[in-house]
């Protein structure tokens, strides 16, 4: 009888450890989404945003018009996640974007399904609009290569202006 209890205890411990390992695979700190991404949208491939996804479940996005978004995300699987981003515009209105993300198996790109909801100054929402689709491409670490020109050659010499020249 004692042998049955020991075997049962061993099975319970093994199952608990397996569940713990499986849960760890989807923790934000270990998730493939963590990193910095260049985002393009299917409707406008010339429009790019930058997003940084942090291991603590938060995210930041920068848009070409200078707006910055903040948000949260959580893994739903080894290569999937959901997120919510909020951007407040200069006029005080707000965009709430809801995302469902699926990463490629190599973790270097993703596809996202997005809905947007716009809020006016009173907080009244438009309701979700969409879906839209986006592609994220991971920003890679790269060492400097061999330059084709100096900064001065490429951009030209900077001219001094009265505003940029210290009085003296």
- Full residue range of the structural domain in which residue 82 is found: 31-138
In a domain, 123, yes or no: yes
Q: Cα 86 vs. chain centroid, distance in angstroms?
A: 12
Q: What is the dihedral of CA 85, 55, 107, 129, to 10 degrees?
A: -10
Number of domains in the chain: 1
CA-based radius of gyration for the chain:
24
Q: Is the pTM of this model over 0.85?
A: no
pLDDT in tens, the chain (168 residues): 444 443 333 333 333 343 344 444 567 888 999 999 999 999 888 899 999 999 999 999 999 988 899 999 999 999 999 999 999 998 999 999 999 999 999 999 999 999 999 999 999 999 999 999 999 999 999 999 999 999 999 998 776 666 666 666
Distances (CA, A) of 71 to 59, 61, 113: 5, 8, 16
Distance CA(86)–CA(71), nearest Å, equals 6
Domain of residue 37, CATH code:
2.40.128.30
**Per-position b or e across 29-54, b if 16+ CB within 10 A of its CB:** eebbbbbebebbbeeeeeeebebebe
How far is the C-alpha of 56 from the C-alpha of 137, rounded, in Å? 21
**160 lies in some domain:** no
Residue 154 placed within a domain: no
Per-residue confidence (pLDDT) for residue 65, from 0 to 100: 86
């Amino acid at each position: 009888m004692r042998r049955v209890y020991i075997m049962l205890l061993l099975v319970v411990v093994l199952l608990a450890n397996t569940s713990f390992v499986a849960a760890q695979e989807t923790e934000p700190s270990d998730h493939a989404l963590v990193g910095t991404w260049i985002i393009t949208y299917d409707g406008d491939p010339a429009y790019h945003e930058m997003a940084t996804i942090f291991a603590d479940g938060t995210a930041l996005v920068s848009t070409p018009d200078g707006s910055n978004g903040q948000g949260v995300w959580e893994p739903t699987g080894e290569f999937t996640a959901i997120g919510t981003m909020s951007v407040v515009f200069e006029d005080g209105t707000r965009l709430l974007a809801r995302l469902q993300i699926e990463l490629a198996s190599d973790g270097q790109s993703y596809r996202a399904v997005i809905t947007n909801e716009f809020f006016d100054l009173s907080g009244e929402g438009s309701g979700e609009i969409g879906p839209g689709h986006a592609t994220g491409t991971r920003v890679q670490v790269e060492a400097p290569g061999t330059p084709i020109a100096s900064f001065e050659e490429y951009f030209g010499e900077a001219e001094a202006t009265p505003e940029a020249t210290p009085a003296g």
